[in-house]
Structure 1
Amino acid sequence: LSRDPVEVDKYIADPLCGFDASVSLWLDIFEMTFRAPQEAQLDRLPKHTPIHLVGGGQDPATDNGKAVIWLSKHLKAHGFSRIRTQIYQDMRHETLNEIGADAAIAAFADWCDEAIARS
């Protein structure tokens, strides 16, 4: 989740977090995972759409950022040209609740400024 123990404690204390996933939730996740990157779905999106992908190099949910890199390459192979991908090597899953989140937030703000300027 995060290397920041305060953020981990807040997550544990939150009654809306840490629940058991239902079968229906897993079915939705699998459908999204296997259907979303299909060519027919990607063809519906404008290829000039700016996309900012972020991952943690210590995030097991994305195979330590490898899934984020895969998605970036997959989108580029389908003609998307405005993709920025950043893997923060020491971060885990919740980049914005991580030690060093200021760098990720600043990079996102810079990306937003650039995306707006190019629109």
Structure 2
Amino acid sequence: MRAKDVLGRRGEEFAADYLEAQGMRIMDRNWRCREGEIDIVAFDGDALVIAEVKTRKSLEYGHPFEAVGVEKLARLHRLASAWCREHERRPPQRRVDVIAVLDDGIGEPALEHLKGVG
């Protein structure tokens, strides 16, 4: 497995643990369909949360949040609808969150969580 993939998996694991510690219920990880993939699907109370996780070793190439643009957000909203259809869910609220993980391999990774992006 490539170092980038290992870093990404570690970041997603760290993010999932964080969301659970915040009281969210993880429903799916790396859910895929024709349109793409959702890193984490969770419920925050009654709200469906589609979490996109971006992990970097450093800020050398920009902040991880910068990797989630308008097109990616639109795709995540479409994926949320696809997940709801496949799982026959109609949550009263849906939102897309973005989680940035900075993990230089030394000590605990740093995590930032933006709720309700786009």
Scaled by the length of structure 2, the TM-score of the pair is 0.27
Bigger proportion of residues as helix: 1
TM-score by length of 1: 0.27
Larger gyration radius, structure 1 or structure 2: 1
**Greater length-normalized contact order (CA 8 Å, ≥ 6 residues apart):** 1
Higher strand share: 2
